[in-house]
Amino acid sequence: MKRIFPFFIAVSIVMTFSGGSAFAASADENYKWYCAQCHGSGGKGDGINSKDLPVTPRNHTNPADMKKLTDGDIENVIKQGGAATSKSTTMPPFGSTITGDEIKEMVKYLHKLCNC
């Protein structure tokens, strides 16, 4: 038993940390956590911070605006922020905050918001 016990501890530690998905937040959660203060919890660009920003955050529910962006554009602006795509620097970069997979899920989530 003395030998088996540490084995179980090791297995449970490995299972906890190798799951990956256990820690990857859903796009919906990430949006509420990281984007909603500017873009609004429903994505309309009316978040609590939006009034104080010099540039209005993109309305993610507007298909006409969102259709102008390719998936690559959206991924880029989320990863590198507004500055990297010649947009307002008030759009912050999230490349070191959320993972590449989470950003891809976020792109899909934005398509749901604009229904486009």
Nearest approach, Cβ of residue 17 and ligand HEC (Å): 25
Cβ closer to ligand HEC: 17 or 68?
A: 68
Q: Which residues of this protein are in contact with ligand HEC, per CB under 6 A?
A: 34-35, 37-39, 49, 53, 55, 57-58, 69, 73-74, 77-78, 82, 85, 87-88, 90-92, 94, 106
Cβ closer to ligand HEC: 10 or 28?
A: 28
Contact indicator for 80, 94 with CB cutoff of 8 Å: no
Tell me which residue of 106, 80, 75, 107 sits closest to 91, measured CA to CA: 80
Nearest approach, Cβ of residue 107 and ligand HEC (Å): 8
Q: How far apart are CA 7 and CA 3, in angstroms?
A: 7
Cβ closer to ligand HEC: 12 or 28?
A: 28
Distances from the Cα of 113 to the Cα of 30, 34, 58, 73, angstroms = 14, 16, 12, 17
Distances from the Cα of 62 to the Cα of 14, 16, 99, 106, angstroms = 44, 40, 26, 16
Cβ closer to ligand HEC: 10 or 46?
A: 46
